[in-house]
Amino acid sequence: MLLPKFKKFHHHHHRFPQNSFAWGSSSLNQLQRALAKSIPSAVKFPSRAAVRPVSSSAVVASKMVKAIRVYELGGPEACWKLGSADLLRSLLKERITRLYFGAFVIFLVPFSVNFPCLRPEMEDVEIGEPKDGEIKVKNKAIGLNFIDTYFRKGVYKASTFPFTPGMEAVGVVTAVGPGLTGRKVGDLVGYAGNPMGAYAEEQILPADKVVPVPPSIDPIIAASVMLKGMTAQFLLRQCFKVEPGHTVLVHAAAGGVGSLLCQWANALGATVIGTVSTEEKAAQAKEDGCHHGSLMCLKLRGYMVSFGQSSGTPDPVPLSALAAKSLFLTRPSMMHYTITRDELLQTASEVFTNLAAGILKVRVNHTYPLSQAAQAHADLESRKTSGSIVLIPDGN
Residue 286: CATH number of its domain:
3.40.50.720
Going by C-alpha positions, the residue among 361, 347, 334, 387 that lies closest to residue 217 is 361
Encode pLDDT of 121-139 as tens digits.
678 999 899 999 999 999 9
Contact 236, 265 (CB under 8 A): yes
- Residue 345, classed as helix, strand or coil, is helix
Is the per-residue pLDDT at 47 higher than 60?
no
In a domain, 5, yes or no: no
In a domain, 215, yes or no: no
Find the radius of gyration of the CA atoms of the chain: 26
In a domain, 235, yes or no: yes
| Cβ atoms within 10 Å, residue 30 | 13
Contact 111, 186 (CB under 8 A): no
Encode pLDDT of 347-368 as tens digits.
999 999 999 999 999 989 899 9
In a domain, 253, yes or no: yes
- What value does the mean pLDDT of the chain take? 75
More confident residue, 109 or 218: 218
Is the per-residue pLDDT at 45 higher than 70?
no
In a domain, 334, yes or no: yes
**Structural domain count, the chain:** 1
Is the per-residue pLDDT at 98 higher than 90?
no
In a domain, 335, yes or no: yes
Range of the domain at 243: 221-310+321-362
DSSP label at residue 370: G
- Residue 309, classed as helix, strand or coil, is coil
In a domain, 127, yes or no: no
Average pLDDT over residues 288-302: 62
Going by C-alpha positions, the residue among 281, 262, 235, 219 that lies closest to residue 360 is 262
Please tell me whether the overall predicted TM-score, pTM, comes out greater than 0.75 for this model: no
